[in-house]
Amino acid sequence: MPLSPWIESEVSLRELNTFGLPAVARRLVRIRDDADVRRLLAEPALAAAPKLVLGGGSNLVLTRDPEGVVLKVEIEGLRLVETRSDAYIVEAGAGLRWHDLVMATLARGWGGLENLALIPGTVGAAPVQNIGAYGIELADRLHEVDAVDLVTGAPLTLTRAQCAFGYRDSVFKQSLAGRCLITCVRFALPRPWQPVLGYLDLERKVAETGISAPSAAQVADWVCSIRRAKLPDPAVIGNAGSFFKNPVVSEDQCRDIIGRDPHVVHYPMPDGTFKLAAGWLIDACGWKGKTVGRAGVYDKQALVLVNRGDAIGAEVITLARAIQESVYGRFGIRLEPEPVVI
């Protein structure tokens, strides 16, 4: 049976993932509203096919051609839903670029997302791993998520509690993994707004500039300049940001690791556990700047793996495994990858 003309075939994904890894989508459909999902589910050839939801491809490692059909999310839209005494409720389409959302909300005078400026990717992917940076997580600003069930086509709305957010984790990575496509996200942006400046790099900016009460736009500006100095621009060198999560360990484990190396970077958490800096552990094992095949470890930040040119996904995974083994051998810690591996 011939496929409908809106279903694209044999689409290269190399330009659609920030690592620049080669893969081909046998079928690709652009989703511009939730009716498009239902239209796809009505296609006999694709209704039951495996589905990969694709945003900006900035948290993906493609090691093969995805099976079935790729759903490229391109749902636009931004509007103020409600002005409450404690928050602006703002709704954004899942296909908007995350950084464009941050800048658009700031331009309208709604602060709250500035610490998350310049994170690549789309609005719809942000709840999936509960993006976070510089002292703020998406969970701190999220109100509700609208999604479509990829099996039944039914719409669903999840409250913040139902999203079950954790550190780089949510229900969308657990019981709903691969099960739904997020169509729009509603945010609760705080009124009155106050800057969140507890992160060391931001404290330094306050000290350097003497600005102790910055505007939200000023904080965004600082965050962008800090990020540009530290992280590789995917347009220049392929990468997916931090490759490993920062491990969280018990007090006893932390003491054991400090016994192995007294300089280990660790932060006490409110629940009595300790978060270790994965980048520091990798650097301590001598990986910074190293290359294996055509994949490598970024020379300014050991937490970021990069494509040194024409790498394939398998080379990135081989490098990641070698790093995991050496960190385990030296510190007894198993590093967990942050990106989704296909």
Ligand X SMILES: Cc1cc2nc3c(=O)[nH]c(=O)nc-3n(C[C@H](O)[C@H](O)[C@H](O)COP(=O)(O)OP(=O)(O)OC[C@H]3O[C@@H](n4cnc5c(N)ncnc54)[C@H](O)[C@@H]3O)c2cc1C
- Contacting residues toward ligand X, per CB under 6 A: 18, 52-60, 73, 94, 119-122, 124-126, 128-129, 131-133, 172, 181-182, 231, 234, 239-241, 340
Sort 203 into a burial class: Cβ within 10 Å, 0-12 / 13-18 / 19+.
Answer: exposed
133 closest CA partner among 207, 58, 200:
200
Q: How far is the CB of 290 from ligand X (least distance, A)?
A: 19
Ranges of beta strands (E only) in the chain are: 8-12, 24-31, 51-54, 60-61, 69-73, 78-83, 87-93, 132-133, 136-137, 142-149, 155-159, 180-190, 239-242, 248-249, 266-268, 274-276, 291-292, 295-297, 304-307, 340-341
Would you say 58 or 292 has its CB closer to ligand X? 58
Q: How far is the CB of 32 from ligand X (least distance, A)?
A: 12
Would you say 214 or 241 has its CB closer to ligand X? 241
Q: How far is the CB of 148 from ligand X (least distance, A)?
A: 9
Q: How far is the CB of 167 from ligand X (least distance, A)?
A: 10
Would you say 59 or 246 has its CB closer to ligand X? 59
Which residues have a catalytic role annotated?
Answer: 168, 242, 338
Distance CA 92, CA 227 (A): 24
Would you say 225 or 250 has its CB closer to ligand X? 225
Sort 228 into a burial class: Cβ within 10 Å, 0-12 / 13-18 / 19+.
Answer: exposed
